[in-house]
Amino acid sequence: MDLDLQKVKRMPIMVALMVGAFVATLNETLLGNALPVLMKEFQVGATTIQWLTAAYLLVVGALIPVTALIQQWLTTRQLFLISMITFLIGTIVAAIAPTFMLLLVGRVIQAIGTGLIIPLLMNTLLNIYPAEKRGSIMGVLFLIFTFAPAIGPTLSGIIIDAMDWRWLFYIIVPITMISIIIGYYYLVNVTTITKPKVDVLSIILSTLGFGGVVYGFSATGNAGWSDPQVYWSIITGGLALILFTIRQLRISNPILELRTFRFSLFSLSIILLIIVMMAMFATITLLPMFLQSVLLVTAFQSGLIMLPGSVVNGLMSPVTGKLFDRFGARVTIIPGILILCIAMYLFTGFTLESTSLQIILTHCLLMLGVALILVPVQTYGLNQITPEYYAHGSAIFSTLQQIAGAIGSALFIATMSSRSSSHLAQSSNPDDVTEQLTASVAGYSDTFMLGFIISVIALVVALFLRKNTKEKQAG
């Protein structure tokens, strides 16, 4: 559809969408420090309680690919209201849940709203802002996408220390309602309603594929690679994705248009995104583990140590968006990956004597590099595709972010565990606590070296970026 961009009230539209995205993405990590409290509250074990996080990621990962189809059936306003009201219902259910099962149901309902709102936000942005202004607004968007999950553990630590755990959900309710009210009055439709034929088999394969892979890799942190729920989830998901891909290329109305990958620079951006997200999510997962298990700080303290880096990332995201609009992708992405490489290398030097200040500064350096990369690489990639592919491109980016994060975290945790065990096996006194800590430090060092190698690969890939930011034809 053709929009008159002069008449569109962009600010209230983006405020409504971004407030919704903020509370939705905040919930991905908000329960982090609350899990031990919830285990006592509901008398359940670690394997049971982890479903509060795993189920959330599973539903989001499974639902995002289908949003490209949903956006062709519902108006922007309808889809926004459905997603946010669904999220609100889930939040209320979780807040008043008298049993663990009802709390889990509330989390699943929340995740449905989250899975719908994230691609909707990106697709709306692409439709109401011209290409030369997308970098700036994408920077603000990524302030939310990175800052909200990053402050989740710290915020939950403060709330758990001061109030009842139910306040983790109570505080979300009024913010969500404000977003719904603004969206109700100001949102306009930015897509063409075509109501294509719904291919049920594609939806089933998509759900099994993306959901299975995301859950399988996410579960390795608690269950380990040898657990049947892990490898069967990944195997089932992988097979379903192969069948899903074949079907999307054969049917006339695919739910996810994989021909979007014909745009060569879009595909290059996807590769960069996957590599960088793997490195970032893995580090965000490993660093608190290093702080708590090796340096023996509390969960709340580790959240505070990581907070400055999150603030740096949040403040820099809008700046890097403006830099992209003015200078293009190469000027921001290549220096960003260089900084990422330096930070990863510095992480390999952490020891038992490493100070909080040293860790804070290195983490800030890492998050600065991430800010210089993520906003430009997604804006650059989405700028390469034509409008009819916007919904599909947004869904692809959002889906692969989830998968790359899950795979990166799982790969790094598995590497850390195996390398730590290998170093401890070489010790003359493996029962000694000091030897165990030393082996753990060596394991973390080896794992961060893997992150450094992955970052160098990203640097090589980035050298193939073109200076132009618009590719008229599919590559």
C-alpha–C-alpha distance, residues 23 and 29, integer Å: 11
Please give the pLDDT value at position 8.
Answer: 65
Q: What is the pLDDT of residues 134-150, one digit of tens each?
A: 777 777 776 777 677 76
Residues 241 and 309 reside in one and the same domain: no
The pTM for the full model equals: 0.73
Please give the pLDDT value at position 213.
Answer: 81
- Tell me whether residue 79 is in a domain: yes
% pLDDT > 90, the chain: 17
CA distances from 284 to 73, 258, 360 (A): 37, 30, 12
Please give the pLDDT value at position 475.
Answer: 40
Residues 153 and 283 reside in one and the same domain: no
Last residue in a domain, options 195, 223, 243 = 195
- Residue 460, Cβ density class (10 Å: 0-12 exposed, 13-18 middle, ≥19 buried): exposed
Yes or no: say if 386 and 262 are a contact pair by the CB < 8 Å rule: no
Yes or no: say if 475 and 263 are a contact pair by the CB < 8 Å rule: yes
**The token pair that represents 94 in the structure block:** 């979780």
- Tell me whether residue 160 is in a domain: yes
Residues 182 and 211 reside in one and the same domain: no
Residues 228 and 369 reside in one and the same domain: no
Last residue in a domain, options 252, 274, 294 = 252
Amino acid at 61: G
| Parent domain of 224 | 197-252
Residues 122 and 45 reside in one and the same domain: yes
How many CB atoms are located within 10 Å of the residue 344 CB?
25
Please give the pLDDT value at position 362.
Answer: 93
Q: DSSP 3-state assignment of 384?
A: coil
Residues 83 and 224 reside in one and the same domain: no
Please give the pLDDT value at position 32.
Answer: 64
Whose tokens are 């073109």? That residue is 466
Yes or no: say if 125 and 14 are a contact pair by the CB < 8 Å rule: yes
- Tell me whether residue 345 is in a domain: yes
| Among 127, 145, 144, 125, residue whose Cα is nearest residue 135 | 125
Yes or no: say if 443 and 423 are a contact pair by the CB < 8 Å rule: yes
- Tell me whether residue 144 is in a domain: yes
User: Which residue ranges of the chain lie beneath pLDDT 50?
Assistant: 1, 469-475
C-alpha–C-alpha distance, residues 94 and 48, integer Å: 16
- Residue 276, Cβ density class (10 Å: 0-12 exposed, 13-18 middle, ≥19 buried): buried
Number of domains making up the chain: 3
Q: What is the pLDDT of residues 434-464, one digit of tens each?
A: 888 888 888 888 888 988 998 999 999 888 8
Q: What is the pLDDT of residues 348-381, one digit of tens each?
A: 988 888 888 999 999 999 989 988 888 888 888 8
Residues 213 and 185 reside in one and the same domain: no
Please give the pLDDT value at position 101.
Answer: 93
Please give the pLDDT value at position 56.
Answer: 76
C-alpha–C-alpha distance, residues 444 and 452, integer Å: 12
- Tell me whether residue 433 is in a domain: yes
Look up the CATH number of the domain holding residue 299: 1.20.1250.20
Please give the pLDDT value at position 222.
Answer: 59
| Among 380, 473, 466, residue whose Cα is nearest residue 131 | 380
Please give the pLDDT value at position 217.
Answer: 75
- Tell me whether residue 269 is in a domain: yes
Residues 292 and 219 reside in one and the same domain: no
Residues 289 and 403 reside in one and the same domain: yes
- Tell me whether residue 257 is in a domain: no
Residues 282 and 221 reside in one and the same domain: no
Residues 156 and 248 reside in one and the same domain: no
Yes or no: say if 91 and 174 are a contact pair by the CB < 8 Å rule: no
Last residue in a domain, options 149, 179, 195 = 195
Please give the pLDDT value at position 469.
Answer: 45
- Tell me whether residue 148 is in a domain: yes
Residues 123 and 272 reside in one and the same domain: no
